[in-house]
Amino acid sequence: MTSFFCRCASGIVFLLLPAFFPFFLPDAACARFVDNGNGTITDTATGYMWQKRAPDRQYTFDGARTYAGRLTLAGYRDWRVPDRDALLSIVDSGRRPAVVSGYFENTRTDGYWTSTTADPVSSPDYACVVTFDTGLDLQRHKGDNFYVRVVRDAPGDYYPDDDDDPRAYVTCFVGALSGAGPRTEPLRAKAQNRFDGCGAANAPLPLYTP
């Protein structure tokens, strides 16, 4: 894909996309979440890859872990029950169900397991559950039944190599531009290298706030 860069008098660099670039694409491509088209959703801010459609049935704490460990989805077998912080990262408390809109299918207004034990010393039989009715986390007995949505680490998986795809071209920078999560600096460095290689050598990587 041919793109052009120009520098104004103030030194700010602008990326000029081709005229055929769809008007809706920047919002879609620069969104924090990317639908991979294979039953998974990637969070470009954290590097997590999520199960798009949660299963219909409920599980005990151990049952949820067994389900995750046996699951093969999109060719991956390293799925797990998310910890408390990971699951809370997809909460949108202003919605009901309280989940980021448009990506996470079959989300019930009910509790979902996390792998986080409430207190390993005083409450080893209780784990944190995030309820997508309110978006809050609660402590529930591990023998209770709740839903689950599994996750895996996907560092770097969402940086496409196809420069002929406008969506890939824009999406390749999103994880680093978000400025969120423990992987920010490595991703930002990778994005800077990609940015330099696209014709803007020595230009600062633009900041982006989703």
What is the pLDDT averaged over residues 65-94? 96
pTM over 0.75: no
Q: What is the token pair recorded at 47? A: 């590097």
For residue 14, which phi and psi values (nearest 5 degrees)?
-115, 140
Report the pLDDT value the prediction gives residue 54, as an integer from 0 to 100. 98
**Is pLDDT of 120 > 50?**
yes
Start-end of CATH 3.10.100 domains in the chain? 48-153
**Is pLDDT of 88 > 60?**
yes
- Determine the CATH number of domain 48-153: 3.10.100
**Whole-angstrom Cα distance, residue 66 to residue 47?**
23
Summarised one tens digit per residue, pLDDT across range 27-62 is 333 478 999 999 999 998 888 999 999 999 999 999
Residues 107 and 97: beta-carbon distance below 8 Å: yes
